[in-house]
Amino acid sequence: MSEINILGEAYKNAKYKATGHGPRNVQVLKDALMEIDEELESEMYGKGKVIDDFQEKMAKYLGKESSVFFPSGTMAQQIALRIWCDQKGIKKVAYHPLSHLEIHEEDGLKKLHHIQTILLADKERVIELEDVMGLDEEISCLLIELPQREIGGQLPDYKTLEDISAYCKQKGIKLHLDGARLFEILQYYQKSAAEICSLFDSVYVSFYKGIGGIAGAILAGDKTFTVESKIWKRRHGGDLISLYPYILSADYYFEQRVGKMSQYYQEAKEFARCFNQCHGVSTKPLEPVSNMFHVHFEAPKEEMEVILAAIYEETGIGLTSYVREVTQTTSYYEVSIGDLYSQIPKEDLRKVFLLLDEKMKTIKIL
């Protein structure tokens, strides 16, 4: 534990940070509320101007008939899959082995909705058309996460998406988009959100990843689907009397940052190139397709913590507050480029990579 603290402390003390938009503190909420008229009334249990306006705006942005604001993506996505399963009468869905639903939700989908899951593709790559065509059981819904976060944020070809969409339509399989980071990939595909969403029957997007809001999600689809999702939202305990603190901040940071996603993407590519020039360091994917990627070190977690902490102290630049073990001799961390990256003086950043390269060369294990 003490090593964790070394890195965490060094990161905290660093003058510049290479990842994210800044601390997740109360200022984030205060900024979002600053210009809001204090007499603006709360919505009441999902009804009212604040929530209606935002739902309408996001439905339009995503090119869907209707949308519903949820406190979390966990809730929104379980509900989407439940609706599609109930509609078809088959409680079976397919998704990637590292889907958020499979590894981060304490099996809510199985424990609350009794939905069976089929894991497609292997852990190291995205789902391809062949995986879907190779399914030998009938499913109600296929969930595709764009980008696939747990493998560094990877994407299939757009053609693959189109083919999967056409195949699912033909086979009567509903296609759901886990778009937690949808805003972040538009630049790579050179498509609008609505164009991508048109390939899917239902779509979830998040407002606290690249957008940097407080919490909250939107689930979009046709009207019949969203009306049913509101009933499930109440069943889950997500139909709060007031969700406006999340809605107002989602809207505020959406306006602030949705136009900056291509900047973050360009910066992520530049940043990844620097890592890939260092001895014993590589990124996944090699060239990012969004604002995110993973940095893999050919060195054990404990050793990397010491190396990185020393670099932060020397340069004043913090890269990450943690490193995770992959094997006994390798480790990684996740990068999400946000507002902070562009504040780092280029010269200081160069020094970071000179030091990193140098220190990695001294590691015996390599």
User: Which of 41/124 has CB closer to its own copies?
Assistant: 41
Answer positive or negative: Cα dihedral of 221, 227, 231, 233. Answer: positive
**CA distances from residue 8 to 11, 14, 335 in whole angstroms, order as listed:** 5, 10, 15
Does 185 engage in binding with its own copies (CB under 8 A)?
no
Binding mask 247-286 for its own copies (x = CB under 8 A): -x--------------------------------------
Distances (CA, A) of 6 to 28, 313, 349: 27, 11, 21
Could you tell me the smallest distance in angstroms from the CB atom of residue 71 to its own copies? Answer: 6
210-229: which residues touch its own copies (CB under 8 A)? 214-215
12 counts as binding its own copies under rule CB under 8 A: no
Whole-angstrom CA distances from 25 to 21, 45, 154, 341 are: 11, 27, 30, 18
Phi then psi dihedrals of residue 300, to 5 deg: -65, 150
Q: Which of 212, 255, 228 is nearest to 61 (CA)?
A: 255
Q: How many CB atoms lie within 10 A of CB 195?
A: 13
Among 27, 192, 276, 342, binds its own copies (CB under 8 A): 27
Cβ atoms of 162 and 199 closer than 8 Å: yes
Q: Which of 5, 15, 44, 123 binds its own copies (CB under 8 A)?
A: 44
Among 160, 187, 198, 242, which residue sits at the site for its own copies (rule: CB under 8 A)? Answer: 242
Which CB, 254 or 265, lies closer to its own copies? 254
Interaction between residue 16 and its own copies (CB under 8 A) = no
Q: Which of residues 85-124 bind its own copies (CB under 8 A)?
A: 105-108, 111-113
**Residue ranges that bind its own copies, judged by CB under 8 A:** 23-30, 33, 36-42, 44, 70-76, 78, 105-108, 111-113, 208, 214-215, 231-232, 234-246, 248
